[in-house]
Amino acid sequence: MESVPKSFQFIVFLFAFISGITEGDIRAQSSSGIDHETVSQQHAGACWSLSDFGPQRAAVAASPSRAVDFFTPANGTLTSFFGIDGSKQPQDFGANANLGVAAQLNYARHLWAEQGIGFQIGSRVSFTGNAVQVFELLGESKDRFQNFTTVGLFQRRDSGFSYGFAYDYASVESFDRFGLGQWRVRASFELTPVNEIGVTLNFSDRSDAGRFNAESVVLEPVDQLHVYLRRNWQSGVNTTFWLGVADAHSEENAITGTLPPKTNQLLFGAEIFAPLNHWIAIFGETNLVMPADTGAVDAYLGIQFSPQGIRRTQSRANRFRAFLPVASNPTFTTDLNRR
C-alpha cells in the first residue's frame, strides 16, 4: 500500500524556495548593468534569439528595464504539456492496456551559474482507461490514475560534457494504490554543434505491495540502461533515438497464470520535439521493451508550451534547461510479481 514519502515535504519547500529567490535574482541582475544588446547578439547565432519569442515579446525584451525579466536565466525555464498517453507494461498483469490523457509542468533553474549547475523539478498526471475488458470482467478497476514527481540536479560544462541525476516518485491508483520510486542518472557529450550522445541508467529504489482481487502482488520499477543519439535539425526540430537493455521482468498473467520470467531484454525508443510557432511544439516519447507481448509498449504525444519561447527549452544556448524529462510511463517501466 502507498504511504506518502517525506520527500514531498522537501518538494513543497523547494517550490517555496524557488519563488523566493527568483524575485531576488531579478532585482539583483536588473541593477547590475547587464548589456542586453550584447546578450541578444551572442544568442542570435545559436538556436534561439529574441525574434523566436514573437514580435510583442521581442519588443518587451529589447527594453533594458524588462529584458532581464524575460529571456535571461533569472526566471528559469518553465514548460507545460498536454497530450495523449498510452501504456502497456508488465504491471498490467498480462491482461490489460491503458489509453487516456496526460498533463505536466516542468521547471529548471540555475543553482551555481558560473559552474553550469542547475536543478529541475516537475510533476505529471495521467488519467487512462482500460483498453481491454479483462480487468472489468474480473471485478477490478476500469481506469488508472498516475502522478509522477521528478526532482534532479545537473551540470553542463563548457567542454560539452554534461551529467545529472533525478529521483522519480510515482503514485499509482488502479486495482490498488501503490507508491514507487526510482533513480535516473545521465551523462552526455556534444559531439558537434548539432549532435549529442549520451547514456542513461534507471534503477529501482522503492517497490510496493498491494492486492489484485484477493491475490497479493508487488510492483517494482525495472532497471534499464540505454545509449542515445540526439540531433538538432536546422528547422528547429530535435530527434532522439536510443537503444539499450532492460533488467528481467515477470510473465505474470491474471487469467492463465505464471510463466518463467524473461531475462535481460532489448529496449529501444525515440523522442521528438517539433516547434510549431514561438510558443508551442509537438512533443512525444516512446519506449519499447521486448518482447512486445509481456514487455512494455509506452508512448505519449501532445503539445508542449513555454511562456518564455518554446525554442529556448531545447536550445544549447540555455545551459539551465531541464536535463532529464519528467518521469512518465516511457521512463518508468514497472514490473508485477505475485507474492
Q: What is the pLDDT of residues 297-311, one digit of tens each?
A: 999 999 999 998 999
CATH code of the domain covering residue 321: 2.40.160.40
Residue 72 lies in a domain: no
In this prediction, residue 1 carries a pLDDT of 56
pLDDT-flagged residues of the chain (< 50):
6-73
| Number of domains, the chain | 1
In this prediction, residue 339 carries a pLDDT of 84
Residue 2 lies in a domain: no
In this prediction, residue 74 carries a pLDDT of 65
Residue 28 lies in a domain: no
Residue 90 lies in a domain: yes
Alpha-carbon span 18 to 26, nearest angstrom: 12
Q: What is the pLDDT of residues 16-42, one digit of tens each?
A: 444 444 444 434 444 434 343 333 333
Residue 67 lies in a domain: no
In this prediction, residue 75 carries a pLDDT of 74
Stated pTM of the model: 0.81
Q: What is the pLDDT of residues 109-155, one digit of tens each?
A: 999 999 999 999 999 999 999 999 999 999 999 999 999 999 999 99
In this prediction, residue 44 carries a pLDDT of 34
Residue 163 lies in a domain: yes
Of 225, 229, 228, 246, nearest in space to 290 by CA: 246
In this prediction, residue 173 carries a pLDDT of 98
Residue range of the domain that includes 120: 78-338
